[in-house]
Amino acid sequence: MDYPATTGIAEQHARLMEELRIYGSNFNQFSRLFGSWLGLYSTDTEALLEIVYGEERGVPLSPARLASRIGLTSGATTSLLNRLEEAGHVVRSRESADRRVVTLRSSSQVHSRADEFFAALAHQLDQAMSRYTPELLSSFEDLLIDLRTTMSAHLTERHDEPRS
């Protein structure tokens, strides 16, 4: 859909993208604060949150998938997982029929600490969303899915391009 800039649509798109960028930046900052609160390095925090998000989606991560998600080598990911495991934040398990497959799980300690840290923000975000109709939220959800899908496709394409 191409709209003439005179209708204000282009400006609205720019404002929406800017608000999403700011939200993403704030989300990342809040995640870093959580990691700092736990005494973690920023990369360890990113990894831990990816593990938690995978569990929440019902798709727990393997070490290889985690490495891909956070952009580390397998060796660096192993070192990171060793730190998280020694700190009691992560458990490696073999849940597959193929015993070579390792599944990453966050510990119950992490869940209780995350609930404690994120509860107030989660409540405030729920309150903010409750001001909108289910229909509007559904439309916004569709928009976010479209934007995420577009970004994911672009990242995949860019990842496949040679670096020179």
pLDDT of residue 98: 78
pLDDT of residue 96: 76
Higher pLDDT among residues 101 and 14, named by residue: 14
What is the residue-averaged pLDDT of the chain? 91
Q: What percent of the chain has pLDDT over 90?
A: 83
- Reference 39, options 96, 1, 73, 88; nearest CA is 88
- Collapsed DSSP state (helix, strand, coil) of residue 102: coil
Query: What is the value of pTM for the model shown?
Result: 0.80
**Chain-centre distance for alpha carbon 108:** 19
C-alpha pair distances (Å), 77 with each of 93, 97, 136:
16, 24, 41
Backbone angles phi, psi at 73, to 5 degrees: -70, 165
pLDDT of residue 155: 86
- The domain segmentation of the chain, as residue ranges, is 20-107
Residue 157 confidence class, pLDDT cut points 50, 70, 90: confident
CB 64 within 8 Å of CB 74? yes
User: What would be the CATH architecture of the domain defined by 20-107?
Assistant: Orthogonal Bundle (1.10)
pLDDT of residue 32: 94
